[in-house]
């Protein structure tokens, strides 16, 4: 019995380490998003940290349009990054789930 518990604890600790490694790797995975007309380009990490924003000079004269472009493009970029982040972390967590009877719903 204690061997099973120790084995599960080891597996959980190993999974936590893999999750942390995955989070670090996601800091270097870049997601690029641009407006449909390429007037704004945004790059962020899969951990949703903005790395760069490039704005075409044509947008600088219209504050409202610039704000709309930023909101729309940032939201698209964040959604993409969130999907990548959640998929990667879920795969690591699922891989590390111990085999506990009755807990098949997580696999």
At 51, the pLDDT band (50, 70, 90 cuts) reads very high
pLDDT per position as a tens digit, 2-46: 557 776 677 778 888 888 898 899 999 999 999 999 999 999 999
Enumerate the β-bridge partners of residue 52: 43
Mean pLDDT across 54-77 = 96
**Which residues, 6+ apart, have CB-to-CB distance to 28 below 8 Å?**
45
Which backbone phi and psi does 46 adopt, to 5 degrees?
-70, -10
């Amino acid at each position: 019995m204690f061997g099973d518990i120790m084995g599960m604890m080891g597996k959980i600790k190993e999974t936590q380490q893999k999750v942390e490694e995955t989070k670090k790797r996601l800091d270097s995975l870049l997601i690029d998003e641009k407006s449909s007309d390429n007037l704004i380009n945004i790059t962020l990490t899969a951990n949703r940290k903005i790395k760069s924003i490039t704005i075409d000079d044509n947008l600088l004269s219209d504050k409202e349009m610039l704000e709309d472009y930023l909101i729309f493009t940032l939201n698209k970029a964040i959604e993409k990054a969130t999907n990548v982040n959640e998929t990667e972390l879920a795969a690591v967590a699922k891989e590390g789930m111990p085999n506990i009877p009755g807990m098949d719903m997580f696999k």
